[in-house]
Amino acid sequence: MHNDAAPKRQLSLFDTTSIIVGIVVGGGLYETIPRVAANTADTASLYGLWIIGGLFALFGSMCYAELATAYPCDGGEYVYLTRAFGKRLGFLYSWTQFWIIRPASVGAIAYIYGGYIHRIAPLGKLDFSIALHAVAAVVGISLLNFLGLREGKWTQNALTGAKVAGLLLLAVGCLLSPAVESSAISGGSADTPATYDGSLSLALIFVMFAYGGWNDMPLVAAEVRDPNKNLSRSLILGSLGIAAVYLLVNWAFVHLLGFSAVQSSSTVGAAALDRVLGRFGEAAFSLLVAISCLGAIQGMLFTGARIYYVTGVDHPLFAWLGRWDERSQSPQRAWLVQALLTLLLTAGVGWRGGQQGFDRALAISAAPFWFFIVLSIAALPILRYRDAATERPYRVPGYPFIPLIFFSISAWMFWSSIDYARHTALREAQGALILVLVGLVVGHFSSQRLGSHRSA
C-alpha cells in the first residue's frame, strides 16, 4: 500500500530546459566530434550530419511533446508504452532502463569525466585514477540529489549554465583566433585524409548519440509547472538550442584546427584550447569536459529515478520503490537503488579507461535505447485513436509525416546500433540480451499481480 505523498509541480520552464541541455550536452560531444568527422569526406558532410541530427531530435521532440502534454505523468516512455502496448512492455522498458540503458549511459559519461579530471588531479596509476574519479562522481551526484528536489534542480541549473557558458567561450575563442589555411579545411578531394572511413551510418550513430537525452525530460512531467505549455516549449527550445551550439562548436573547431586535424585528433577540444590559451589550454578544457559530464550524470540520475518510482506505483511486486518522500520531494528509495546499481556497474564492469568505457557503453545501450524510441513513436497514432477523448494541448505539426519520418530514422538507427554492437562489444551485447529476456519473465509475473496502471 502506497503513501499519500505524490510529486508536486515545482519545475519551471528554465528548470526543464536545463535538464534537457544538461543531459544532452555532456562529455560525449567531445568524443563524437572526431568520430563523426572521420566518417565524413568534407566539411559540408560534417555540418550536414549535425544539421540532420538536430532535425531528427526536433522531430522526436515534437512527437514527445504531444505525448507528454496528453499524459503529464512522471515516467515518460513508461507511461506511453504501457498505455499503448500493455503492462508487460511498459515493465520491460523500466527493466531495461534499470539494468542496461541508464547505468551504461551514466557509466560512459562517468568514465569520460574520470579521464579528464585525472589530468587535473591524478590519484595514482591511470586506470585506477579514472575509475576512482568515475565512482566519486556518481557517489557525489547521488548524495546531492538524495537531499531533495530543490538541491537537485539547483545543481542541474548551475552545471548546465556553466557548461553552456564554457562552450560558447570556447567557440568564440576559436573563431576569433587566426584560421588555418583553407587547403587544410577543404575535404572531399583526391587527397582526402587517411582517417576518412566513409561510413555515414556510423557517423550518424555518433551524431544521434550526441543528441541523445532530449527524451528524458518527460520523465519528470508530473513535476512541471503549467505542463500544457512548458513541456512542449522545453522540448522544442532545448532541441533547437542544442543543435545551434553543436553547429557552432564544430564550425569553431574546423576554423581553428582544419578539417584534417579534427578528423585525426582524439582530443580535438584540448587541441583547440591549447592554441587559444597556450599552456593553460589543457587544464581549462579538462575542467570544461568535467563540468559537462557532471551535468549529464546529474540529469540522467535525476530523471532515471522517476522511472523506477512509477514502476513501483504500478507493480505491486516492486511497490517498495513506489514511495514518494514528502520532505525531499523525491523518490528516495528509487534513488538509492539506482545509485547502488550504477555504482556497482561503473566500478565493476571492467572498463579500462574512459575511451574503452565510452565505446562499450555506447554499444550496449544504443540498440535498446532506439528500440524503445521506435515503440514510443509507434504509440503516438495508437493513442490518438484509442484515447481520442483525451485532451492534447500540443499536436505534432505535419502529422503524420513528421512522426513517420522520425519513426523510420529511429528504426534504421536501431538496426545500425545492433550492427555496431555486434562488431564492437559482442560479448557485452549478448549479456544485455540475456538481461532483457530475464526482464520478459519477471515482467510476466509482475504484471499478473498488477491491478491497473497509473492514469494520467
C-alpha cell at 43: 566539411
Tell me whether residue 5 is in a domain. no
Per-residue pLDDT, 182: 45
Is 3 inside a domain boundary? no
Residues sharing a CB contact under 8 Å with residue 288, sequence separation 6 or more, in sequence order: 163, 166, 167, 170, 269, 273
> Is 330 strand, coil or helix?
strand
CA dist., res. 380 & res. 374, Å (int): 10
Extract the residue ranges of the chain whose pLDDT is less than 50.
1-2, 182-196, 350-355, 451-456
Those residues whose C-beta lies under 8 Å from the C-beta of residue 423, and which sit 6 or more positions away, are: none
Q: CA-to-CA distance for 69 and 79, rounded, in angstroms?
A: 12
Q: How confident is the model at residue 359, as a pLDDT?
A: 63
pLDDT value for 210? 86
What distance in Å separates the CA atoms of residue 228 and residue 70, rounded to the nearest whole number? 8
In a domain, 178, yes or no: yes
Q: How far apart are CA 261 and CA 266, in angstroms?
A: 9
| CA atoms of 410 and 63, how far apart (whole Å) | 13
Does any domain span residue 60? yes
What whole-number distance in Å separates Cα of residue 285 and Cα of residue 108? 19
- Cell 509482475 sits at which residue? 446
CATH number of the domain bearing residue 173: 1.20.1740.10
Q: In sequence order, what E strands does 187-246 have?
A: none
Would residue 455 count as lying in a domain? Answer: no
Q: Which domain holds residue 146?
A: 13-448
Cα separation, 152 vs 160, in Å, equals 12
Please report the pLDDT score of residue 92 as a whole number.
94
Q: Write the burial class of residue 148 (CB in 10 Å: 0-12 exposed, 13-18 middle, 19+ buried).
A: middle
Q: Please, what is the Cα angle at 293 between 149 and 266, to 5 degrees?
A: 170
Q: What pLDDT does residue 62 have?
A: 95
Residues 6+ apart with CB under 8 A from 35: 202, 203, 206
CB-based contacts of 127-136 (< 8 A; 24+ apart in sequence):
127/352, 127/353, 130/353, 130/354, 131/347, 131/351, 134/107, 134/110, 134/346, 134/347, 134/354, 134/357, 135/110, 135/343, 135/346, 135/347
Given a contact cutoff of 8 angstroms between Cβ atoms, the answer to whether 323 and 333 are in contact is yes
CB 249 within 8 A of CB 54: no
Which residues are bridge partners to 330 per DSSP?
A: 325
Closest CA to 366 of 104, 138, 49: 104
d(CA 216, CA 235): 10
The partner residues of 224 in beta bridges, in order of sequence, read: 11
Structural domain includes residue 139: yes
What pLDDT is recorded for position 307?
A: 93
**Hey, which residues does 310 pair with through a beta bridge?**
none
Is 330 domain-assigned? yes
| Number of separate domains in the chain | 1
pLDDT at 454: 43
Whether residue 2 is contained in a domain is answered as no
